[in-house]
């Protein structure tokens, strides 16, 4: 598994500290992140792919610094957002999946082969030429996920990917995530998604307050939020 290092990481927007003193090394296959809204968990997740740069400390993925080698980091670390509508870039399903492969030096045949494979793996093959905005919420999230996975990242960071979904679609996305061979860092409010995870980080008021296995971290988080 890739190794994500974040020693002494913090972030502030002008005078407002949103994250401080986070010191972690992530090398497990499944890492969960929980915390209340505004706890700094999404800011931390965004740091893992260089979307947000730390104002204190540094973040690296397999030795690649997110500040100096952002491009290489983004090629290794895929990012999936909460709202799939905000990350679908192209009008049709197949085009959106293919979008991430532009400028990768692949031939048209290679792009088509990869796109077809990913769409089939996510039950979207029958929708290849459909307008992306006409898909259901669950299908849109699967499309967003497929568009990231087609680039074959080593790490997948997901920021509350099931928050806008109903239970059936949330479970569908959860099953897809479960089967992924990649290292997954999942930010979520759905605590049952963390079953079987190796490690859970609990954030509160911009600090990492607990870093443990789910059996310890989830009850702690429930108590913290009570």
Which chain residues interact with another protein by CB under 8 A?
46, 49, 51, 70-71, 74-75, 78-79, 81, 83, 85-92, 95, 98-100, 102-103, 129, 131-134, 147-148, 151
Give least dist CB 129 to another protein, A. Answer: 4
Please answer whether residues 205 and 41 qualify as being in contact, where contact means their C-beta atoms are separated by less than 8 angstroms: no
Where is 138: in which H helix or E strand?
helix 137-149
H or E element at residue 160: none
Question: Considering the complex, what minimum distance in angstroms separates the CB of residue 119 from another protein?
Answer: 14
Q: For another protein, which is the closer residue by CB, 41 or 199?
A: 41
Name which of 61 and 132 has its Cβ closer to another protein: 132
Contacts of 194 (CB under 8 A, 6+ apart): 32, 34, 186, 188, 200, 214, 218
Of 16 and 103, the one with the shorter C-beta distance to another protein is 103
CB-nearer residue toward another protein: 41 or 74 = 74
**Least Å distance between CB 168 and another protein?**
22
Smallest distance, Å, CB 79 to another protein? 4
* Structure tokens belonging to residue 124: 């979207």
Under 8 Å between Cβ of 50 and 66 = yes
CA atoms 184, 187, 193, 194: torsion sign: positive
Closest contact distance (angstroms) between CB of 209 and another protein is 26
User: What does the buried/exposed string (b/e) look like for 86-110 if buried means 16 or more CB atoms within 10 Å of the residue's CB?
Assistant: ebbeeebbbbbbbebbeeeeeeeee
Toward another protein, which CB reaches closer, 109 or 226? 109
Token reading at 138:
């669950």
Q: How far is the CB of 191 from another protein (least distance, A)?
A: 25
Q: Which is nearer to another protein, 52 or 193 (CB)?
A: 52
Lookup result for tokens 């505004």 = 38
Q: Nearer Cβ to another protein, position 111 or 208? A: 111
Report the chain's C-alpha Rg in angstroms: 17
Smallest distance, Å, CB 195 to another protein?
27
DSSP structure class, residue 39: S
CA 57/CA 46 separation, integer angstroms: 15
């Amino acid at each position: 598994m890739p190794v994500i290092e974040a020693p002494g990481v913090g972030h502030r927007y002008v005078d407002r500290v949103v994250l401080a003193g986070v010191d972690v090394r992530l090398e497990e296959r499944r890492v969960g992140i929980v915390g209340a809204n505004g706890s700094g968990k999404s800011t931390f997740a965004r740091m893992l792919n260089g979307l947000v740069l730390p104002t204190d400390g540094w973040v690296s993925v397999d030795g690649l610094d997110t500040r100096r080698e952002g491009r290489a980091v983004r090629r290794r670390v895929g990012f999936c957002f909460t709202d799939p509508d905000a990350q679908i870039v192209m009008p049709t399903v197949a085009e959106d999946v293919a979008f991430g492969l532009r400028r990768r030096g692949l031939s048209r045949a290679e792009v088509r082969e990869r796109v077809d494979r990913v769409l089939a793996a996510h039950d979207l093959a029958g929708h290849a030429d459909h307008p992306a905005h006409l898909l259901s919420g669950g299908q849109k999230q699967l499309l967003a996920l497929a568009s990231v996975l087609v680039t074959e990242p080593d790490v997948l960071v997901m920021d509350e990917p099931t928050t806008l979904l109903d239970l059936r679609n949330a479970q569908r996305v959860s099953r897809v995530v479960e089967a992924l061979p990649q290292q997954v860092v999942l930010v979520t409010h759905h605590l049952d998604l963390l079953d079987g995870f190796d490690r859970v980080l609990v954030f509160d008021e911009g600090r990492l307050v607990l870093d443990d296995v789910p059996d310890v971290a989830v009850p702690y988080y429930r108590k913290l939020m009570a």
